[in-house]
Amino acid sequence: MEKSSPGTHPSLQQALQLLDQFRALITDAQEVALQTSGDSQWAIYEEALRALLEIRRLAIALGKGELSYEIKAKGTLAGALKSLQANLRHLSWQTQRVSQGDFTQRVEFMGEFATAFNEMVSQLDAMARELQTQQDELVRRNDILILEVAERERAEAAEREQRQLAEALQAAAMALNATLDYEQVLDIMLDRIGDLIAYDSAVIMEVEGMQARVRRAKNYHRYGEEVEKRVLASCFDIPKTPNLFTMFTTLKPLVISDVDHYPGWDRHKTGNPVRSWIGSPIYAHGQVLAFFSLDKLEPNYYQEKHAHKLEMFANHAALAMVNARLFQEIQRLAITDTLTGLYNRRYFFERACHEFTRSCRYHHPITLVMLDLDHFKSVNDTYGHPAGDLVLQTISRLVLQTVRKIDLVARFGGEEIILLLPETTPQAGERLAERLRQKIAATRIPVNNHSISITASFGVCGGNPTDCNLEPQRAIETLIELADQALYQAKQGGRNQVCLMLPNFAPTTSQ
Protein backbone atom coordinates (compact mmCIF):
# COMPACT_ATOMS: atom_id res chain seq x y z
CA MET A 1 0.00 0.00 0.00
CA GLU A 2 1.53 3.32 -1.13
CA LYS A 3 2.21 5.99 1.52
CA SER A 4 2.96 9.71 1.30
CA SER A 5 6.59 10.67 1.64
CA PRO A 6 7.91 11.80 5.06
CA GLY A 7 7.15 15.39 5.98
CA THR A 8 4.18 15.64 3.60
CA HIS A 9 0.46 15.21 4.15
CA PRO A 10 -1.77 13.13 1.81
CA SER A 11 -4.33 14.97 -0.25
CA LEU A 12 -8.03 14.17 0.00
CA GLN A 13 -7.83 12.24 -3.30
CA GLN A 14 -4.89 10.19 -1.99
CA ALA A 15 -6.80 9.52 1.20
CA LEU A 16 -9.80 8.28 -0.77
CA GLN A 17 -7.56 6.06 -2.86
CA LEU A 18 -6.03 4.73 0.31
CA LEU A 19 -9.48 3.95 1.64
CA ASP A 20 -10.41 2.11 -1.60
CA GLN A 21 -7.26 -0.01 -1.43
CA PHE A 22 -7.86 -0.72 2.22
CA ARG A 23 -11.46 -1.75 1.59
CA ALA A 24 -10.33 -4.14 -1.20
CA LEU A 25 -7.80 -5.63 1.18
CA ILE A 26 -10.46 -6.23 3.83
CA THR A 27 -12.85 -7.74 1.26
CA ASP A 28 -10.17 -10.21 0.12
CA ALA A 29 -9.39 -11.05 3.71
CA GLN A 30 -13.09 -11.66 4.37
CA GLU A 31 -13.26 -14.27 1.61
CA VAL A 32 -10.25 -16.16 2.97
CA ALA A 33 -11.62 -15.90 6.51
CA LEU A 34 -14.93 -17.35 5.42
CA GLN A 35 -13.18 -20.38 3.84
CA THR A 36 -10.90 -21.13 6.76
CA SER A 37 -12.05 -19.55 10.03
CA GLY A 38 -15.83 -19.46 9.96
CA ASP A 39 -18.32 -16.90 11.27
CA SER A 40 -16.25 -15.49 14.16
CA GLN A 41 -13.45 -14.25 11.89
CA TRP A 42 -16.04 -12.95 9.44
CA ALA A 43 -17.53 -10.71 12.15
CA ILE A 44 -14.15 -9.02 12.75
CA TYR A 45 -13.75 -8.15 9.10
CA GLU A 46 -17.36 -7.08 8.84
CA GLU A 47 -16.83 -4.55 11.63
CA ALA A 48 -13.64 -3.22 10.02
CA LEU A 49 -15.38 -2.87 6.69
CA ARG A 50 -18.23 -0.88 8.21
CA ALA A 51 -15.71 1.52 9.78
CA LEU A 52 -13.93 2.03 6.49
CA LEU A 53 -17.15 2.66 4.65
CA GLU A 54 -17.97 5.29 7.28
CA ILE A 55 -14.60 6.93 6.63
CA ARG A 56 -15.24 6.99 2.90
CA ARG A 57 -18.71 8.50 3.30
CA LEU A 58 -17.27 11.23 5.61
CA ALA A 59 -14.46 12.01 3.16
CA ILE A 60 -16.92 12.36 0.29
CA ALA A 61 -19.19 14.58 2.41
CA LEU A 62 -16.28 16.78 3.40
CA GLY A 63 -15.25 17.05 -0.23
CA LYS A 64 -18.73 18.43 -0.99
CA GLY A 65 -18.59 20.87 1.96
CA GLU A 66 -21.12 18.92 4.04
CA LEU A 67 -19.51 19.46 7.44
CA SER A 68 -22.59 18.44 9.41
CA TYR A 69 -22.35 14.72 8.38
CA GLU A 70 -23.00 12.58 11.47
CA ILE A 71 -20.30 9.98 12.14
CA LYS A 72 -22.01 6.81 13.40
CA ALA A 73 -18.89 4.65 13.75
CA LYS A 74 -17.24 4.10 17.11
CA GLY A 75 -13.70 3.39 18.29
CA THR A 76 -10.30 5.05 18.09
CA LEU A 77 -10.47 5.62 14.36
CA ALA A 78 -13.92 7.18 14.65
CA GLY A 79 -12.63 9.50 17.36
CA ALA A 80 -9.91 10.78 15.04
CA LEU A 81 -12.52 11.38 12.36
CA LYS A 82 -14.76 13.34 14.71
CA SER A 83 -11.80 15.50 15.80
CA LEU A 84 -10.99 16.15 12.16
CA GLN A 85 -14.63 17.05 11.46
CA ALA A 86 -14.81 19.45 14.44
CA ASN A 87 -11.67 21.30 13.29
CA LEU A 88 -13.09 21.64 9.77
CA ARG A 89 -16.38 23.04 11.18
CA HIS A 90 -14.47 25.58 13.25
CA LEU A 91 -12.42 26.61 10.20
CA SER A 92 -15.63 27.02 8.20
CA TRP A 93 -17.13 29.21 10.98
CA GLN A 94 -13.99 31.39 11.07
CA THR A 95 -14.12 31.77 7.30
CA GLN A 96 -17.72 32.98 7.54
CA ARG A 97 -16.71 35.50 10.27
CA VAL A 98 -13.94 36.89 8.04
CA SER A 99 -16.42 37.22 5.16
CA GLN A 100 -18.59 39.31 7.53
CA GLY A 101 -15.67 41.67 8.20
CA ASP A 102 -14.26 40.12 11.39
CA PHE A 103 -10.59 40.22 10.60
CA THR A 104 -9.60 39.33 14.10
CA GLN A 105 -9.96 35.62 13.41
CA ARG A 106 -6.83 33.58 13.57
CA VAL A 107 -6.34 29.85 12.78
CA GLU A 108 -4.64 28.31 15.76
CA PHE A 109 -5.59 24.65 15.20
CA MET A 110 -4.17 23.80 11.76
CA GLY A 111 -1.42 21.81 13.44
CA GLU A 112 -4.07 19.90 15.34
CA PHE A 113 -5.97 19.39 12.07
CA ALA A 114 -2.92 18.00 10.35
CA THR A 115 -2.13 15.91 13.39
CA ALA A 116 -5.67 14.49 13.45
CA PHE A 117 -5.60 13.77 9.74
CA ASN A 118 -2.17 12.14 9.88
CA GLU A 119 -3.23 10.14 12.90
CA MET A 120 -6.23 8.85 10.96
CA VAL A 121 -4.06 7.83 8.01
CA SER A 122 -1.49 6.20 10.31
CA GLN A 123 -4.21 4.17 12.01
CA LEU A 124 -5.52 3.12 8.62
CA ASP A 125 -2.02 2.04 7.60
CA ALA A 126 -1.55 0.09 10.85
CA MET A 127 -4.89 -1.62 10.38
CA ALA A 128 -3.98 -2.44 6.78
CA ARG A 129 -0.69 -4.00 7.88
CA GLU A 130 -2.40 -6.04 10.57
CA LEU A 131 -5.08 -7.20 8.17
CA GLN A 132 -2.41 -8.07 5.57
CA THR A 133 -0.57 -10.15 8.17
CA GLN A 134 -3.75 -11.94 9.15
CA GLN A 135 -4.63 -12.47 5.51
CA ASP A 136 -1.20 -14.01 4.81
CA GLU A 137 -1.66 -16.33 7.79
CA LEU A 138 -5.13 -17.29 6.63
CA VAL A 139 -3.84 -17.97 3.11
CA ARG A 140 -1.07 -20.15 4.58
CA ARG A 141 -3.57 -22.07 6.67
CA ASN A 142 -5.84 -22.39 3.67
CA ASP A 143 -2.97 -23.84 1.58
CA ILE A 144 -2.21 -26.35 4.34
CA LEU A 145 -5.88 -27.27 4.53
CA ILE A 146 -6.04 -27.79 0.75
CA LEU A 147 -2.97 -30.04 0.90
CA GLU A 148 -4.45 -32.02 3.78
CA VAL A 149 -7.75 -32.45 1.92
CA ALA A 150 -5.93 -33.53 -1.24
CA GLU A 151 -3.81 -36.01 0.71
CA ARG A 152 -6.90 -37.37 2.44
CA GLU A 153 -8.65 -37.76 -0.92
CA ARG A 154 -5.61 -39.59 -2.32
CA ALA A 155 -5.53 -41.88 0.72
CA GLU A 156 -9.26 -42.57 0.42
CA ALA A 157 -8.89 -43.29 -3.31
CA ALA A 158 -5.99 -45.65 -2.62
CA GLU A 159 -7.95 -47.39 0.13
CA ARG A 160 -10.97 -47.68 -2.17
CA GLU A 161 -8.82 -49.15 -4.95
CA GLN A 162 -7.22 -51.64 -2.54
CA ARG A 163 -10.64 -52.66 -1.26
CA GLN A 164 -11.92 -53.19 -4.79
CA LEU A 165 -8.80 -55.20 -5.63
CA ALA A 166 -9.23 -57.36 -2.54
CA GLU A 167 -12.90 -57.97 -3.37
CA ALA A 168 -12.09 -58.86 -6.98
CA LEU A 169 -9.30 -61.23 -5.86
CA GLN A 170 -11.60 -62.86 -3.34
CA ALA A 171 -14.31 -63.36 -5.96
CA ALA A 172 -11.75 -64.78 -8.39
CA ALA A 173 -10.33 -67.13 -5.75
CA MET A 174 -13.83 -68.38 -4.90
CA ALA A 175 -14.57 -69.03 -8.57
CA LEU A 176 -11.24 -70.83 -9.08
CA ASN A 177 -11.68 -72.97 -5.99
CA ALA A 178 -15.25 -73.88 -6.90
CA THR A 179 -14.07 -76.50 -9.40
CA LEU A 180 -11.34 -79.11 -9.68
CA ASP A 181 -11.86 -79.57 -13.39
CA TYR A 182 -8.58 -78.46 -14.98
CA GLU A 183 -10.13 -77.20 -18.21
CA GLN A 184 -12.70 -75.16 -16.31
CA VAL A 185 -9.94 -73.66 -14.18
CA LEU A 186 -8.20 -72.40 -17.34
CA ASP A 187 -11.46 -70.86 -18.59
CA ILE A 188 -12.10 -69.13 -15.25
CA MET A 189 -8.55 -67.79 -15.14
CA LEU A 190 -8.93 -66.07 -18.50
CA ASP A 191 -12.38 -64.69 -17.68
CA ARG A 192 -11.61 -63.43 -14.17
CA ILE A 193 -8.35 -61.64 -14.95
CA GLY A 194 -10.42 -59.14 -16.93
CA ASP A 195 -12.13 -58.08 -13.67
CA LEU A 196 -8.78 -56.81 -12.39
CA ILE A 197 -6.90 -55.70 -15.50
CA ALA A 198 -8.41 -54.49 -18.76
CA TYR A 199 -7.20 -56.12 -21.96
CA ASP A 200 -8.10 -56.20 -25.65
CA SER A 201 -6.86 -59.77 -26.13
CA ALA A 202 -5.27 -62.37 -23.88
CA VAL A 203 -3.83 -65.89 -23.82
CA ILE A 204 -2.82 -68.52 -21.29
CA MET A 205 0.26 -70.51 -22.29
CA GLU A 206 0.95 -73.81 -20.55
CA VAL A 207 4.58 -74.74 -19.99
CA GLU A 208 5.72 -78.13 -21.28
CA GLY A 209 9.43 -78.57 -20.61
CA MET A 210 11.05 -75.52 -22.20
CA GLN A 211 8.11 -74.74 -24.47
CA ALA A 212 5.03 -72.61 -23.89
CA ARG A 213 1.95 -73.78 -25.75
CA VAL A 214 -1.19 -71.63 -26.06
CA ARG A 215 -4.05 -73.35 -24.22
CA ARG A 216 -6.59 -70.54 -24.07
CA ALA A 217 -7.03 -67.38 -26.19
CA LYS A 218 -9.61 -64.60 -26.11
CA ASN A 219 -10.60 -61.81 -28.50
CA TYR A 220 -7.97 -62.52 -31.18
CA HIS A 221 -10.76 -62.87 -33.75
CA ARG A 222 -10.89 -59.06 -33.84
CA TYR A 223 -7.47 -59.05 -35.54
CA GLY A 224 -8.60 -61.40 -38.30
CA GLU A 225 -9.21 -65.12 -38.73
CA GLU A 226 -5.63 -65.86 -39.76
CA VAL A 227 -4.20 -64.14 -36.69
CA GLU A 228 -6.58 -66.06 -34.42
CA LYS A 229 -5.65 -69.40 -35.99
CA ARG A 230 -1.95 -68.64 -35.71
CA VAL A 231 -2.27 -67.67 -32.05
CA LEU A 232 -4.29 -70.78 -31.13
CA ALA A 233 -1.67 -73.01 -32.79
CA SER A 234 1.31 -71.19 -31.27
CA CYS A 235 4.03 -72.98 -29.34
CA PHE A 236 6.98 -70.86 -28.22
CA ASP A 237 10.52 -71.95 -27.47
CA ILE A 238 11.01 -70.23 -24.10
CA PRO A 239 14.81 -69.60 -24.31
CA LYS A 240 14.33 -68.03 -27.76
CA THR A 241 11.41 -65.81 -26.71
CA PRO A 242 12.86 -62.86 -24.71
CA ASN A 243 9.75 -61.82 -22.78
CA LEU A 244 8.87 -65.41 -21.80
CA PHE A 245 12.46 -66.25 -20.90
CA THR A 246 12.70 -63.16 -18.67
CA MET A 247 9.60 -64.18 -16.74
CA PHE A 248 10.72 -67.83 -16.66
CA THR A 249 14.05 -66.97 -15.04
CA THR A 250 12.97 -64.12 -12.73
CA LEU A 251 9.54 -65.49 -11.73
CA LYS A 252 8.33 -61.89 -11.96
CA PRO A 253 5.76 -60.10 -14.17
CA LEU A 254 7.02 -58.14 -17.16
CA VAL A 255 5.58 -54.88 -18.50
CA ILE A 256 6.26 -53.73 -22.07
CA SER A 257 4.69 -50.29 -22.34
CA ASP A 258 5.26 -50.10 -26.08
CA VAL A 259 6.15 -53.25 -28.01
CA ASP A 260 7.60 -51.17 -30.85
CA HIS A 261 10.52 -50.41 -28.54
CA TYR A 262 11.04 -53.98 -27.34
CA PRO A 263 13.84 -55.96 -29.04
CA GLY A 264 12.65 -58.79 -31.23
CA TRP A 265 8.96 -57.84 -31.18
CA ASP A 266 7.68 -57.27 -34.72
CA ARG A 267 3.93 -56.74 -34.59
CA HIS A 268 3.81 -55.97 -38.31
CA LYS A 269 5.25 -59.40 -39.08
CA THR A 270 2.79 -61.23 -36.85
CA GLY A 271 -0.20 -59.16 -37.95
CA ASN A 272 -1.08 -58.56 -34.30
CA PRO A 273 -1.64 -54.79 -33.81
CA VAL A 274 -1.12 -54.72 -30.02
CA ARG A 275 1.04 -51.90 -28.67
CA SER A 276 1.14 -52.45 -24.90
CA TRP A 277 1.77 -55.86 -23.29
CA ILE A 278 1.96 -57.35 -19.83
CA GLY A 279 2.66 -60.91 -18.75
CA SER A 280 3.23 -62.93 -15.61
CA PRO A 281 4.49 -66.42 -14.82
CA ILE A 282 2.09 -68.73 -13.01
CA TYR A 283 4.31 -70.84 -10.79
CA ALA A 284 4.29 -73.01 -7.69
CA HIS A 285 7.27 -74.21 -5.64
CA GLY A 286 9.63 -72.48 -8.08
CA GLN A 287 8.23 -74.36 -11.10
CA VAL A 288 6.57 -72.34 -13.86
CA LEU A 289 3.25 -73.92 -14.81
CA ALA A 290 1.98 -71.36 -17.32
CA PHE A 291 2.10 -67.72 -18.45
CA PHE A 292 -0.49 -64.97 -18.58
CA SER A 293 -0.22 -62.72 -21.66
CA LEU A 294 -2.43 -59.59 -21.93
CA ASP A 295 -2.54 -57.13 -24.84
CA LYS A 296 -3.77 -53.57 -25.33
CA LEU A 297 -4.01 -51.67 -28.61
CA GLU A 298 -3.21 -48.44 -26.77
CA PRO A 299 0.55 -47.75 -26.37
CA ASN A 300 1.92 -47.11 -22.86
CA TYR A 301 -1.24 -48.47 -21.25
CA TYR A 302 0.26 -51.07 -18.95
CA GLN A 303 2.27 -49.80 -15.97
CA GLU A 304 3.89 -51.31 -12.88
CA LYS A 305 0.63 -50.97 -10.93
CA HIS A 306 -0.92 -53.49 -13.32
CA ALA A 307 2.02 -55.86 -12.75
CA HIS A 308 1.26 -55.92 -9.02
CA LYS A 309 -2.36 -56.89 -9.63
CA LEU A 310 -1.42 -59.53 -12.20
CA GLU A 311 1.13 -61.09 -9.87
CA MET A 312 -1.40 -61.41 -7.04
CA PHE A 313 -3.97 -62.99 -9.36
CA ALA A 314 -1.32 -65.36 -10.75
CA ASN A 315 -0.68 -66.63 -7.21
CA HIS A 316 -4.35 -67.60 -6.84
CA ALA A 317 -4.35 -69.11 -10.33
CA ALA A 318 -1.26 -71.20 -9.54
CA LEU A 319 -2.92 -72.68 -6.46
CA ALA A 320 -6.05 -73.54 -8.45
CA MET A 321 -3.97 -75.14 -11.23
CA VAL A 322 -1.99 -77.23 -8.75
CA ASN A 323 -5.15 -78.44 -7.02
CA ALA A 324 -6.83 -79.27 -10.33
CA ARG A 325 -3.75 -81.13 -11.55
CA LEU A 326 -3.52 -83.09 -8.32
CA PHE A 327 -7.18 -84.00 -8.58
CA GLN A 328 -6.65 -84.94 -12.22
CA GLU A 329 -3.72 -87.14 -11.24
CA ILE A 330 -5.67 -88.79 -8.44
CA GLN A 331 -8.47 -89.51 -10.87
CA ARG A 332 -6.00 -90.92 -13.39
CA LEU A 333 -4.39 -93.16 -10.78
CA ALA A 334 -7.80 -94.37 -9.66
CA ILE A 335 -8.66 -95.58 -13.16
CA THR A 336 -5.22 -96.52 -14.50
CA ASP A 337 -3.05 -99.60 -14.21
CA THR A 338 0.24 -98.41 -12.74
CA LEU A 339 2.49 -100.74 -14.71
CA THR A 340 1.08 -100.42 -18.23
CA GLY A 341 -0.66 -97.04 -18.17
CA LEU A 342 -3.82 -98.69 -19.50
CA TYR A 343 -7.18 -98.32 -17.81
CA ASN A 344 -7.82 -100.72 -14.95
CA ARG A 345 -10.52 -103.38 -14.82
CA ARG A 346 -12.92 -101.36 -12.63
CA TYR A 347 -12.92 -98.34 -14.93
CA PHE A 348 -13.25 -100.60 -17.96
CA PHE A 349 -16.53 -101.98 -16.66
CA GLU A 350 -17.81 -98.48 -15.88
CA ARG A 351 -17.04 -97.15 -19.34
CA ALA A 352 -18.09 -100.34 -21.13
CA CYS A 353 -21.54 -100.21 -19.55
CA HIS A 354 -21.92 -96.63 -20.72
CA GLU A 355 -20.89 -97.58 -24.27
CA PHE A 356 -23.31 -100.53 -24.34
CA THR A 357 -26.19 -98.23 -23.32
CA ARG A 358 -25.17 -95.81 -26.03
CA SER A 359 -25.07 -98.61 -28.65
CA CYS A 360 -28.59 -99.64 -27.66
CA ARG A 361 -29.86 -96.07 -27.94
CA TYR A 362 -28.39 -95.43 -31.40
CA HIS A 363 -28.50 -99.06 -32.68
CA HIS A 364 -24.75 -99.09 -33.30
CA PRO A 365 -22.64 -102.26 -33.25
CA ILE A 366 -20.17 -102.86 -30.44
CA THR A 367 -17.24 -105.32 -30.35
CA LEU A 368 -15.02 -106.67 -27.60
CA VAL A 369 -11.51 -108.07 -28.09
CA MET A 370 -9.46 -110.04 -25.56
CA LEU A 371 -5.70 -110.36 -26.00
CA ASP A 372 -3.46 -112.80 -24.13
CA LEU A 373 0.31 -113.03 -24.53
CA ASP A 374 1.50 -116.52 -25.46
CA HIS A 375 3.96 -118.28 -23.15
CA PHE A 376 4.38 -115.15 -21.03
CA LYS A 377 5.29 -117.18 -17.96
CA SER A 378 8.42 -118.42 -19.72
CA VAL A 379 9.57 -114.82 -20.19
CA ASN A 380 9.32 -114.21 -16.44
CA ASP A 381 11.00 -117.52 -15.66
CA THR A 382 13.83 -117.00 -18.16
CA TYR A 383 14.57 -113.29 -17.93
CA GLY A 384 12.94 -112.29 -14.63
CA HIS A 385 9.87 -110.29 -13.71
CA PRO A 386 11.38 -106.89 -14.67
CA ALA A 387 11.74 -108.26 -18.20
CA GLY A 388 8.12 -109.42 -18.10
CA ASP A 389 7.07 -105.92 -16.99
CA LEU A 390 8.98 -104.43 -19.91
CA VAL A 391 7.22 -106.78 -22.35
CA LEU A 392 3.80 -105.80 -20.96
CA GLN A 393 4.64 -102.10 -21.21
CA THR A 394 5.88 -102.46 -24.79
CA ILE A 395 2.82 -104.37 -25.96
CA SER A 396 0.50 -101.88 -24.18
CA ARG A 397 2.08 -98.95 -26.01
CA LEU A 398 1.79 -100.78 -29.32
CA VAL A 399 -1.93 -101.42 -28.75
CA LEU A 400 -2.58 -97.77 -27.81
CA GLN A 401 -0.78 -96.63 -30.97
CA THR A 402 -2.96 -98.89 -33.12
CA VAL A 403 -6.49 -98.25 -31.82
CA ARG A 404 -8.68 -95.14 -32.18
CA LYS A 405 -9.16 -92.49 -29.51
CA ILE A 406 -12.72 -93.63 -28.88
CA ASP A 407 -11.63 -97.22 -28.24
CA LEU A 408 -11.30 -98.39 -24.67
CA VAL A 409 -8.15 -100.37 -23.72
CA ALA A 410 -7.59 -101.87 -20.25
CA ARG A 411 -5.41 -104.40 -18.49
CA PHE A 412 -7.82 -107.15 -17.57
CA GLY A 413 -5.45 -109.14 -15.43
CA GLY A 414 -1.98 -110.66 -15.60
CA GLU A 415 -0.91 -110.65 -19.24
CA GLU A 416 -4.47 -110.15 -20.57
CA ILE A 417 -5.52 -106.93 -22.31
CA ILE A 418 -9.14 -106.16 -23.20
CA LEU A 419 -10.42 -103.78 -25.88
CA LEU A 420 -13.93 -102.35 -26.32
CA LEU A 421 -14.55 -100.97 -29.81
CA PRO A 422 -17.66 -98.72 -30.04
CA GLU A 423 -19.46 -98.48 -33.40
CA THR A 424 -17.43 -101.43 -34.69
CA THR A 425 -18.75 -104.64 -36.27
CA PRO A 426 -17.28 -108.00 -35.21
CA GLN A 427 -15.67 -108.33 -38.64
CA ALA A 428 -13.95 -104.94 -38.30
CA GLY A 429 -12.86 -105.93 -34.78
CA GLU A 430 -11.39 -109.13 -36.22
CA ARG A 431 -9.37 -107.14 -38.78
CA LEU A 432 -8.03 -104.86 -36.05
CA ALA A 433 -7.05 -107.87 -33.95
CA GLU A 434 -5.22 -109.37 -36.92
CA ARG A 435 -3.20 -106.15 -37.43
CA LEU A 436 -2.27 -106.17 -33.76
CA ARG A 437 -1.28 -109.86 -33.92
CA GLN A 438 1.06 -109.18 -36.80
CA LYS A 439 2.62 -106.09 -35.18
CA ILE A 440 3.20 -107.92 -31.88
CA ALA A 441 4.82 -110.88 -33.60
CA ALA A 442 7.13 -108.55 -35.56
CA THR A 443 8.21 -106.54 -32.51
CA ARG A 444 11.65 -107.17 -31.00
CA ILE A 445 12.01 -106.25 -27.33
CA PRO A 446 15.48 -105.63 -25.83
CA VAL A 447 15.79 -107.51 -22.53
CA ASN A 448 19.03 -108.02 -20.56
CA ASN A 449 21.25 -107.56 -23.61
CA HIS A 450 18.98 -109.85 -25.57
CA SER A 451 16.32 -109.19 -28.19
CA ILE A 452 13.24 -111.27 -27.69
CA SER A 453 9.89 -111.57 -29.42
CA ILE A 454 6.50 -112.70 -28.25
CA THR A 455 3.16 -113.59 -29.81
CA ALA A 456 -0.46 -113.08 -28.72
CA SER A 457 -3.78 -114.84 -29.14
CA PHE A 458 -7.05 -112.94 -29.65
CA GLY A 459 -10.72 -113.62 -28.98
CA VAL A 460 -13.29 -111.36 -30.68
CA CYS A 461 -17.02 -111.09 -30.04
CA GLY A 462 -19.65 -108.50 -30.83
CA GLY A 463 -22.60 -107.36 -32.88
CA ASN A 464 -25.65 -105.11 -32.72
CA PRO A 465 -27.41 -105.30 -29.34
CA THR A 466 -30.79 -106.96 -29.79
CA ASP A 467 -31.93 -107.19 -26.18
CA CYS A 468 -31.67 -103.64 -24.84
CA ASN A 469 -33.69 -104.59 -21.79
CA LEU A 470 -30.61 -106.43 -20.54
CA GLU A 471 -28.70 -104.75 -17.71
CA PRO A 472 -25.58 -103.10 -19.22
CA GLN A 473 -23.19 -104.78 -16.76
CA ARG A 474 -24.71 -108.20 -17.46
CA ALA A 475 -24.44 -107.54 -21.20
CA ILE A 476 -20.74 -106.66 -20.91
CA GLU A 477 -20.11 -109.75 -18.77
CA THR A 478 -21.77 -111.86 -21.49
CA LEU A 479 -19.56 -110.30 -24.17
CA ILE A 480 -16.47 -110.98 -22.06
CA GLU A 481 -17.52 -114.61 -21.58
CA LEU A 482 -17.97 -115.06 -25.32
CA ALA A 483 -14.69 -113.30 -26.14
CA ASP A 484 -12.96 -115.47 -23.56
CA GLN A 485 -14.41 -118.55 -25.24
CA ALA A 486 -13.08 -117.31 -28.59
CA LEU A 487 -9.67 -116.68 -26.98
CA TYR A 488 -9.68 -120.20 -25.60
CA GLN A 489 -10.39 -121.49 -29.10
CA ALA A 490 -7.39 -119.50 -30.41
CA LYS A 491 -5.14 -120.95 -27.71
CA GLN A 492 -6.39 -124.45 -28.43
CA GLY A 493 -5.82 -123.89 -32.12
CA GLY A 494 -2.10 -123.31 -31.64
CA ARG A 495 -1.85 -119.73 -30.30
CA ASN A 496 -0.72 -116.59 -32.25
CA GLN A 497 -4.09 -116.36 -33.98
CA VAL A 498 -7.45 -114.53 -33.91
CA CYS A 499 -10.72 -116.28 -33.21
CA LEU A 500 -14.08 -114.58 -33.86
CA MET A 501 -17.19 -115.70 -32.04
CA LEU A 502 -20.18 -115.08 -34.31
CA PRO A 503 -23.70 -114.56 -33.03
CA ASN A 504 -24.37 -118.30 -33.44
CA PHE A 505 -21.13 -118.80 -31.51
CA ALA A 506 -19.58 -120.79 -34.34
CA PRO A 507 -15.86 -119.99 -34.23
CA THR A 508 -13.79 -118.97 -37.19
CA THR A 509 -10.04 -118.52 -37.09
CA SER A 510 -7.49 -116.49 -39.01
CA GLN A 511 -3.74 -117.03 -38.98
**Whole-structure pTM value:** 0.59
- The pLDDT value recorded for residue 86 is 74
Range of the domain at 376: 336-510
Residues 241 and 260 sit within 8 Å (Cβ to Cβ): no
> Which CATH number goes with the domain that contains 463?
3.30.70.270
- The pLDDT value recorded for residue 103 is 66
- The pLDDT value recorded for residue 66 is 65
Residues 314, 349 within the same domain: no
407 phi/psi in degrees, rounded to 5 = -75, 150
Residues 348, 274 within the same domain: no
CA distance 127 to 26: 10
Residues 63, 75 within the same domain: yes
Residues 498 and 458 sit within 8 Å (Cβ to Cβ): yes
Residues 218 and 246 sit within 8 Å (Cβ to Cβ): no
Count the Cβ atoms, other than its own, within 10 Å of residue 373: 21
- The pLDDT value recorded for residue 92 is 72
CA dihedral 154, 156, 162, 166 (to 10 degrees): -170
- Give the total number of structural domains in the chain: 3
Q: Report how far apart, in Å, the C-alpha atoms of 68 and of each of 5, 57, 64, 78 are.
A: 31, 12, 11, 15
Give the contacts of 210 (CB within 8 A, at least 6 positions apart): 237, 238, 239
Start-to-end C-alpha separation, the chain: 123
- The pLDDT value recorded for residue 7 is 42
- The pLDDT value recorded for residue 161 is 75
CA distance 177 to 185: 8
Residues 230, 113 within the same domain: no
| Per-residue pLDDT in tens (0 to 9) along the chain, 511 residues | 444 444 444 444 544 454 555 555 555 555 544 554 445 555 555 656 666 666 667 667 666 666 666 666 666 666 666 776 677 677 677 677 767 777 676 666 556 656 666 666 677 677 777 777 877 877 888 888 888 888 888 877 777 777 777 777 788 778 888 888 999 999 999 998 988 899 999 999 999 999 999 999 999 988 888 889 999 999 999 999 999 999 999 999 999 999 988 987 877 766 678 899 999 999 999 999 999 999 999 999 999 999 999 999 999 999 999 999 999 999 999 999 999 999 999 999 999 999 999 998 888 999 999 999 999 999 999 999 999 999 999 999 999 999 999 999 999 999 999 999 999 999 999 999 999 999 999 999 998 888 999 999 999 999 888 767 778 999 899 999 999 999 999 999 999 999 998 754 334 455 5
Domain end position, chosen among 102, 128, 149: 149
C-alpha 286 chain-centroid distance: 22
Give the contacts of 98 (CB within 8 A, at least 6 positions apart): 105
H or E element that contains 369:
strand 366-373
Domain end position, chosen among 149, 173, 203: 149
CA distance 63 to 11: 11
H or E element that contains 194:
none
175 in a structural domain: no
